Every structure is written in C-alpha cells, then in structure tokens.
Amino acid sequence: MQSAITLPFSQTSLTRPNPVLGSTASAFSTPRSLRFCGLRREAFGSSPSSHLSLRSDRVRTPSIRRFQVSSAASSSNGAPPKSFDYDLIIIGAGVGGHGAALHAVEKGLKTAIIEGDVVGGTCVNRGCVPSKALLAVSGRMRELQNEHHMKSFGLQVSAAGYDRQGVADHANNLATKIRNNLTNSMKALGVDILTGFGSVLGPQKVKYGKDNIITAKNIIIATGSVPFVPKGIEVDGKTVITSDHALKLESVPDWIAIVGSGYIGLEFSDVYTALGSEVTFIEALDQLMPGFDPEISKLAQRVLINPRQIDYHTGVFASKITPAKDGKPVMIELIDAKTKEHKDTLEVDAALIATGRAPFTNGLGLENVNVVTQRGFIPVDERMRVIDGNGKLVPNLYCIGDANGKLMLAHAASAQGISVVEQVTGRDHVLNHLSIPAACFTHPEISMVGLTEPQAREKGEKEGFKVSVAKTSFKANTKALAENEGEGIAKMIYRPDNGEILGVHIFGLHAADLIHEASNAIALGTRIQDIKLAVHAHPTLSEVLDELFKAAKVEEDHATTRTGDAKIKKLNTNEDDPRRGRRDDEKQQPSVSKDLVVRSTSLSSFVEDIYARVLSLVSRVFV
C-alpha cells in the first residue's frame, strides 16, 4: 500500500488572464502526474489568506473537480453511463459491501447495494458487534469478581451479579444501533439499497428479488459467510448451538463444551466463564489456539485457560453430537484425530460449535459466468478479480470478504472493497494482506499482524535472510501497572539485515488497540530504524510498542535513519538521487537565476511562493 496518491493534471502548463495586471500571466508548470503525501486542498485552490481576494473559479484544479464529483454523488449518487443502470452493483450489505459502497460514492459512482437479509451482515448482526457487547459485560464481571484485584485498588465491592436478559438486550440493542447507522449512512450518500436475494445473470447483469434485473459496469460479490458445522453434529439452536444462537444468550448453561479453540471459541469461553459456566474445549489439533504464534498461545493458555473453570481435550474430533432431549444431556462422541478410534463420550448441558465459518456462495448464479468455487470460496486474484473455471479473469466481476477466503475478517472485507473501487475508478491498487491486523477480545486481549515466528523463519530459510525476535513485557509499563494489569508481552519478528518488520504479536491490556502502530508500519513499509525514533506519550500503553521497537537490533550498515531533514538535505545537494535520475559523476546543468529557484520540495510550499510573488507584483502596481 502506498502512502502517496497520484493526481493527474490536465495540462502541463496553465495560462490564466490576470485582471489585476491587465495581461495574460503564465502560471506554474507541473508534471502530468505528481506524487505527494498529506497535501491539503487549499494548495490547489485559493489561499485562505485575506490579504488578496481571488475568485475560486479562476483556476480549475484537480481538487475542485474531485470536490464537485463528490458533491454530486452526495445528492444524486452520480450519473451512470447511458448503457448501464449503475456504475457499480454490490451484492451483500455487510461491512465489506458497506465500505465499498461509501468509497464508490465518494469517487462519484452511481452505486446500488443488494441485501437479502439485513444490512450489516454477519459482523453487525451475528458476529463482531454483539459479541463485543457480551465481552464488555464479561470483562466487568471478571474484574468485580476478582476480590484481590479490587482490594489492590483499595476498593470494596459486594458480590457481583447479572441479569441475563439485560445482558442479552445490551448486545441486541448495540447491533440494532450499528445496523441503523450503516443503513442511514448509505441512504444519506445516495446509495440505492435494493432488497432481495441477488445473483449474477451474466456479464454485468444482476437479478434481485423475484424478477428485478439491473445492469452495472462493475459488480462486486460480498455475500460473506455462515457458521461451519461439521458432519455428524445436530444443531437444534437450544442445547447445540452456533455463534449465531450463542449471541442471543437465551441461556447460561452450567457446563458447556466448545468445539474449536480459535477466535470464536476463546471469546465465548471468556463470556461463559465470567457468567459462571464451566467450559470444556474440544480441539482437533494437538494444541489449543493453533492459529496464534506458539509463544503467545502458551502464555495465553496460562492466563486465559488454566486459572479458570476450563478443561480441554486436544487431538480429538467430535464425531457425533446429539442435542439434549427427553431429560438426557447433550452427548458428544470423541474420536482420535489421527487414528479415528473412539476415545471418550462427554455428557454436558450444551455444546457450542465454533469450528470456523463457511463461505455463503450458493445460488449466486456463478455458473452463468463459468465460475467454479473451490471448497465454496470464489477464486480471485490479488486484485479481487474473479477467476472462471478456465483460469481466466471474468471481466468486471469482483469478490471481496469471506466469500473469497483470503482473510476472513470484517475489516479485511472492507479494505478489499475499497481496493476494488480504486481499481474501477482508474487507480491500480493491490492490498497487502500481511499488513491487516487481527484481534481476539478476551481479557486480556490478543492481537497480531504479519507472520508468526515459525512462518517467518520458514520464509527466511527459503529466501536466505536471518530472522530476529524482540520482546517487551507489560510488567515494565507504568500505565499497565497503574491498572494492575501487568500480565502480557509484545513480540516482534523482524529482519536484522534491513529492519523490515515481519510480524508483531501482543498479549495484554488493550492489545487490540495497540497493534495498529505495527500494522500501519508494515503497510507503509516503515523500517525499525525509523519508527524507533517516534515519540510516545508517557505514561501510556503505547510505550509497550515503543520499547519493543527500541529493543530490536538492526545491523550497522542499515541502521542509518531516513528522517525528513536528511531527505531534504539530500535533495538540496549534489548527492546521488535516483528520483532525479542523476549520478554524482554527471555534469551539472547551469544553475538558473536565484529569483526563480523553487526551494520547497512540496507542492503546497511551491504554491505559497507563487502566491507571495503575486502579492508582491500587486503591491508594486498600486504603490
């Protein structure tokens, strides 16, 4: 991902009549494509200064044109090509579809989004949002129930209790609020929300509802996923449930088995144990939390599993689960994951199936464009373009989010959708999935971005580079100690030869919030030798990352920092600069008049120089 953006200029030089001077003045010359970062809109329009009033329509600029397009999109959702009903149709109004729709309107595209269920999809209605409401309750309950923790603050709290229906209402109300916010945001921007099940009829053609057919220049499939239930498991929605049912919190069983110890299973174990349940994990692999960095998993098990009312069985499958009925409990048959021999039978009050999610791609009409799913996932390339059964790209058809299986996270779906919109509006963009963070909202939280240590070492062996690891503890952080939450570590995997960050993993207080400094560094290609000089407020949890970056050791040949001052100094000398396409041994061009030298390296400063010159000329005329 690039931090710079590209603005195409319509002309290499601009000539504007100057009513003050009564002549034609030649404006500044600019390249047809100019890269810059963080440039304010005022740099292209009139100056905010009140010293001289200039008409805003005197100079037509790229920023003004973009603003006019956005304004039109806000009121009428843009103007589609005559041959299509829409510029963009999105099938699925979850977080991914919503993010794509908002960005499309911002880009001036006439956009429609089709939803066969409710706006918000899994994340808002049956996933991220309501689960965080339950976890907020479990966190407070866990703190209030910890007598030693409260006494350390000098606090005395009587026995904590909860109202199950009140907790359930909190989760439901939050989901409703966020769903309404998403709906209103799209309506306000002019996105057409079409109700009904959507499917692809053919190239650039979509059907929704019963007989409604519409066309679009580009189509995005964003249909998400549903809970995956292995064979042999009978779900009744009462005693054998998925995460969809669990989020309603219709009951809090005394003993619940959770099949799967990934994100979903861990978060629900946090909720159920805080509310008084005993939990048994059933994991097919040989260790709990198999998707996490092994060192983080080991520490998390010591904190999140061992001290709580949780036991576990690893290396086994739940081959058969029968719901409770006729006074009998839930029956779970366990077999060895390798030999498939019977190992045990469990009798519990309830079972939660947390074995992951499956793509929701049935009935989408993919056969009409010769697309064959792979284990239910729609095959796409790095730009989310759909690939057909012959390995060829399907023109104008994209798939984002859980349906393509690249990274089954809500924010990844949104990022993919935005990336697609960038492409269809003329700017090539490839999303770096290794820069997308993930989090598990247990107490304490777990977060990660990039590669685990085993993955990084395997990559290093294949590509021939060394891998180093830096660590820091929350026990050394003032803010964490003030909260009596010193349990936790941060870990960074990196290349010592060039300072590249390969992965960061955090277990501790507010780990989900802390990870973004690392994920942004990976996304922007920031090296350790640069970011370790960044300043963090004290005392804050962010200093955990500060200490982590400072603990890394980069080899001397690559330890020189690339500060802004160094860059500017280099630009103003005769040193080798690949951006100028000039070598030290090349003969320098004759220097131009000092009065015409543009000393600023940013376009905004350049415009300010021109503006100052205009003021100077005007003052001379009137003086």
Peptide bond into 539 cis (omega under 30): yes
Residue 245 bears catalytic tag: no
Question: What span, in angstroms and rounded, lies between the C-alpha atoms of 114 and 92?
Answer: 6
Q: Which two tokens stand for residue 246?
A: 């669990």
Number of residues that make up the chain: 623
Q: Report residue 409: phi and psi, to 5°.
A: -135, 145
Give a three-class secondary structure readout of 348-398: ECEEEECCCEEECCCCCCHHHHCCCCECCECCECCCCEEECCCCCEEEEEE
Tokens (6 digits) for 586: 């090349």
What's the CA gap between 378 and 400, in Å, rounded? 9
Token pair belonging to 236: 């009744």
Helices marked H in 445-602 — which ranges?
453-463, 478-482, 511-524, 528-531, 543-551, 564-571
Cis peptide bond N-terminal to 329, omega within 30: no
**Could you count the other beta carbons within 10 Å of the beta carbon of residue 32?**
10
CA–CA separation, 218 and 205 (whole Å): 9
Alpha carbons 280 and 316: distance in angstroms, whole number: 13
Sign of the four-CA dihedral 55, 60, 62, 67: positive
**Is there a contact between 256 and 349 (Cβ–Cβ < 8 Å)?**
yes
Beta bridge partners of 510: none
Cα dihedral angle (39, 44, 48, 54), rounded to 10 degrees?
Answer: 170
Strand partners, 310: 279
Are β-strands 393-399 and 212-221 bridged in parallel, bridged antiparallel, or unpaired? parallel
Which of the following is catalytic: 516, 536, 538, 558? 538
Token pair 């709580």 is at which residue?
A: 308
Token match 């600029």: residue? 61
Q: How far is CA 410 from the centre of its chain?
A: 7
Is the C-alpha dihedral spanning 38, 44, 45, 48 positive or negative?
A: positive
Question: Which segments of 260-365 are extended strands (E)?
Answer: 278-283, 310-314, 316-322, 330-336, 342-348, 350-353, 357-359
User: In degrees, to the nearest 5, what angle opens at C-alpha 185 toward C-alphas 181 and 188?
Assistant: 135
Which amino acid makes up residue 166?
A: G
Phi, psi of 23 (to 5 degrees): -150, 180
Instruction: Take residue 475 and report the two structure tokens written for it.
Output: 């026990």
φ, ψ dihedrals at 288, nearest 5°? -75, 155
CA dihedral 338, 340, 343, 344 (to 10 degrees): 120
The two structure tokens encoding residue 405: 């299986």
Q: Would residue 430 be called left, alpha or beta, if left means φ above 0 and alpha means ψ between -120 and 50 degrees?
A: beta
530 touches 558 (CB < 8 A): no
Beta-strand relationship, 330-336 and 212-221: unpaired
Q: How far is CA 351 from CA 33, 269, 334, 398, 544, in A?
A: 59, 12, 13, 37, 38
Calpha distance 290→273 (Å, rounded) = 21
Active-site residues: which are they?
538
